[in-house]
Chains A and B, each alone.
Chain A
Amino acid sequence: GENVEQHPSTLSVQEGDSAVIKCTYSDSASNYFPWYKQELGKRPQLIIDIRSNVGEKKDQRIAVTLNKTAKHFSLHITETQPEDSAVYFCAASPYSSASKIIFGSGTRLSIRP
């Protein structure tokens, strides 16, 4: 079946450094790629998303890049801060159906002071 691979599963970076999380997907019909952040004991929240007609999108310290040919997309967090510590999930879905969204297994990001 279709799947989304997410790496790494855990990531520890020094405060102020950058963090990169990568995902690959298998369904060539996918054209919407959201990223969700889930802090400990809280709900997942959308932090950024990208559509297939765009190669890169940036929002302050967060950016996402998409390579549709290679079927991979990445989340970049610059100047990391303690509040960036959380689990991050990537996902991929076709526009046509919300029931076909597939999530990655998550990356636990820890920011070292």
Chain B
Amino acid sequence: ETGVTQTPRHLVMGMTNKKSLKCEQHLGHNAMYWYKQSAKKPLELMFVYSLEERVENNSVPSRFSPECPNSSHLFLHLHTLQPEDSALYLCASSQDPVGNSPLHFGNGTRLTVT
């Protein structure tokens, strides 16, 4: 059982494809996040949404496009990705978008760009 669900678990896409990652949280939280996890690197924050409004975009390339239609759902739309974008993409939620609110992560989507 998990409070944060991500689909798909695995995704292989070519550099010209368009795909979307989906995240859903069942915890009643007000903030949602996208993180990128690459081997031997710290977790990188990509986007933060608070009550469906984007509050942070950490200089992420425009080939990554987030969408938050409501406080329970978060998407990451992907297009014309590069091989170096291959990584584990983690969605997370927290009660509030403040620094001392613990993060609840999903299981992630393992993305491979060929």
Contact = CB atoms under 8 A, between A and B. Distances in A.
Nearest to B6: A43
Contacts of A96: 98-99
A105 B58 contact: no
A98 interface: yes
Contacts of A51: 100
Interface residues of B, number: 28
Nearest to A100: B99
Interface string A47-60: 00101000000000
A34 B106 CA distance: 17
B48 A105 contact: no
Contact of A42 (B43, B98, B107): B107
Interface in A9-33: 9, 31-32
Given A99-B58, A106-B42, A93 B97 contact: no
Contacts of B58: 99
B102 interface: yes
A98 B107 contact: no
Contacts of B100: 31-32, 49, 51, 93, 95
B81 interface: no
B98 A43 contact: no
Contact of A4 (B41, B42, B101, B108): B42
Interface of A: 4, 9, 31-32, 34, 36, 42-46, 49, 51, 89, 93-106
